[in-house]
Amino acid sequence: MMEHERREIPMSERRPIGDVILGMRDPREMTKEEFEKSPDILFHGSATPLEFRPVFNFRDDEYLRENDGSTTLGNGFYTTSSREDAECYSGVRKSQGETRQFVSEVLPFNARVLDLRWKDDKSKNAAVPTELAKAWTEYFSQYLKTRKPRENTWLGSMIEQMETDYPNFLQRALKEDSIDLRVLLQTSPHPKLQSKNLPSPVWSLLFSEFMISQGYDGLIYNEGGEGWNANDATRVFYNLKKIGTFESWQKGEGYDE
Do both 85 and 139 map to the same domain? no
In sequence order, the 6+-apart residues with CB closer than 8 A to the CB of 106 are 41, 42, 43, 44, 52, 77, 79, 243, 244, 245
- pTM of the full predicted structure? 0.89
Do both 86 and 118 map to the same domain? yes
Q: What radius of gyration do the chain's Cα atoms show?
A: 19
Q: What is the mean pLDDT of residues 174-189?
A: 94
pLDDT of residue 229 exceeding 60, the answer is: no
User: 44 in a domain, yes or no?
Assistant: yes
pLDDT of residue 250 exceeding 70, the answer is: yes
Backbone angles phi, psi at 54, to 5 degrees: -75, 5
Do both 136 and 183 map to the same domain? yes
User: 117 in a domain, yes or no?
Assistant: yes
The range of the structural domain enclosing residue 174 comes to: 130-200
pLDDT, tens digit, for every residue of 66-118? 555 568 999 999 999 999 888 888 777 766 666 678 899 999 999 999 999 99
Do both 113 and 147 map to the same domain? no
Beta strands in 64-217 (DSSP E): 77-79, 102-108, 111-118, 121-125, 187-190, 195-197
Do both 196 and 217 map to the same domain? no
Do both 180 and 242 map to the same domain? no
pLDDT, tens digit, for every residue of 120-137? 999 999 999 999 999 999
pLDDT of residue 40 exceeding 80, the answer is: yes
pLDDT interval class at 59 (50, 70, 90):
low
